């Protein structure tokens, strides 16, 4: 959804989408999921790559996912902050109190265990 919402047609048959996704988690969720971080990165990158390919999208750079904790989120809620960056590892994380992007998405945790 984060990719689809930010898709931008830049030419005939070329749609550019975000390539970097910062996933903010409540501190308790971040702690709980941190031991699965490598597996989650691999799965999410594969999922993003598959979706981009199926839609004919061109990511704005190498695909990147990072998890950060955010004190302003309740347990079970997460926020996806998509962006396009040529070097996403150099993209600064959102600092506490910073203005949230217009397309911020707050999503509830899945009701069934993963």
Q: For residue 108, is it within any domain?
A: no
Q: What percent of the chain has pLDDT over 90?
A: 66
Q: For residue 68, is it within any domain?
A: yes
* Domain of residue 61, residue span: 2-88
Residue 90 confidence (pLDDT): 58
Q: For residue 57, is it within any domain?
A: yes
Average pLDDT over residues 50-54: 96
Residues of 13-35 as b/e, b for ≥16 C-beta within 10 angstroms?
A: eebbbbbbbbbbbbeebbeebee
Q: For residue 6, is it within any domain?
A: yes
Instruction: Provide the number of structural domains found in the chain.
Output: 1
CATH number at 67 reads: 3.30.2320.60
CA 55 to chain centre: 17
Q: For residue 112, is it within any domain?
A: no
* 91 pLDDT above the threshold of 60: no
């Amino acid at each position: 959804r984060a990719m689809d919402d930010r898709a931008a047609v830049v030419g005939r048959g070329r749609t550019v989408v975000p390539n970097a996704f910062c996933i903010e988690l409540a501190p308790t969720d971040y702690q709980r999921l941190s031991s699965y971080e490598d597996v989650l990165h691999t799965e999410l990158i594969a999922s993003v790559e598959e979706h981009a390919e199926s839609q004919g999208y061109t990511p704005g750079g190498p695909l990147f996912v990072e998890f950060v904790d955010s004190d302003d989120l309740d347990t079970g809620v997460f926020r996806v902050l998509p962006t396009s960056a040529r070097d996403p590892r150099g993209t600064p994380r959102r600092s506490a109190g910073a203005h949230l992007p217009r397309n911020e998405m707050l999503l509830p945790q899945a009701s069934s265990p993963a």
